[in-house]
Amino acid sequence: MSGGIDARLAGAVRRAQRVAVLTGAGISAESGIPTFRDAQTGLWARFRPEELATPEAFERDPRLVWDWYEWRRGLVAAAAPNAGHRALARMQARVGRFTLITQNVDGLHQRGGVTDVVELHGNIHRNKCFAEGVVCEGRPDEGERPPRCPRCGAPLRPDVVWFGESLPAAALARAEAAARDCDLFFSIGTSAAVYPAAQLPVTALQSGAILVEVNKDPTPLTRLATFSLLGPAGDLLPRLVGAAWPAE
Among 99, 127, 190, 203, binds ligand OAD (CB under 6 A): 190
In the complex, minimum distance from the CB of residue 77 to ligand OAD, in angstroms, rounded to a whole number: 19
Residues binding ligand OAD: number (CB under 6 A): 24
Q: Is 193 in the site for ligand OAD (CB under 6 A)?
A: yes
Q: Is 219 in the site for ligand OAD (CB under 6 A)?
A: yes
Number of alpha carbons in the 13 Å side-chain half-sphere of residue 64: 17
Cβ distance to ligand OAD smaller for residue 47 or 148: 47
Cite the active site residues: 121
Q: Please tell me whether the peptide bond between 246 and the residue prior to it is cis, using omega within 30 degrees of 0.
A: no
Cβ distance to ligand OAD smaller for residue 50 or 141: 50
Looking at residues 10 to 69 of the shown chain, list those that interact with ligand OAD (rule: CB under 6 A). Answer: 24-26, 29-30, 35-37, 49, 53
Q: E-assigned strands of 84-171?
A: 97-102, 117-119, 122-129, 135-136, 156-160
| Nearest-10 crossing angle of helices 169-180, 199-206 | 30
CA angle 75, 157, 152 (to 5 degrees): 145
CA angle 191, 110, 199 (to 5 degrees): 30
Interaction mask 120-139, ligand OAD, x per CB under 6 A: -x------------------
Cβ-proximal residue to ligand OAD, closest one: 26
In the complex, minimum distance from the CB of residue 192 to ligand OAD, in angstroms, rounded to a whole number: 7
In the complex, minimum distance from the CB of residue 198 to ligand OAD, in angstroms, rounded to a whole number: 8
Among 31, 92, 99, 103, binds ligand OAD (CB under 6 A): 103
Q: Is 191 in the site for ligand OAD (CB under 6 A)?
A: yes
β-strands 117-119, 156-160 pairing: unpaired
- In our burial notation (b when 16+ CB lie closer than 10 A, e otherwise), range 30-47 reads bbebbbbeeebeeebeee
Q: Provide the H-helix boundaries in 44-82.
A: 49-52, 55-60, 62-78
In the complex, minimum distance from the CB of residue 179 to ligand OAD, in angstroms, rounded to a whole number: 16
The closest of 104, 79, 111, 90 to 26, measured between CA atoms, is 104
In angstroms, the CA 150 to CA 153 distance is 6
Length of the chain, please?
A: 248
Output the CA torsion 93→14→196→205 (10° steps).
160
Cβ distance to ligand OAD smaller for residue 150 or 196: 196
In the complex, minimum distance from the CB of residue 45 to ligand OAD, in angstroms, rounded to a whole number: 16
Cβ distance to ligand OAD smaller for residue 61 or 141: 61
Footprint on this chain of ligand OAD (rule: CB under 6 A)? 24-26, 29-30, 35-37, 49, 53, 103, 121, 161, 189-191, 193-194, 215-217, 219, 232-233
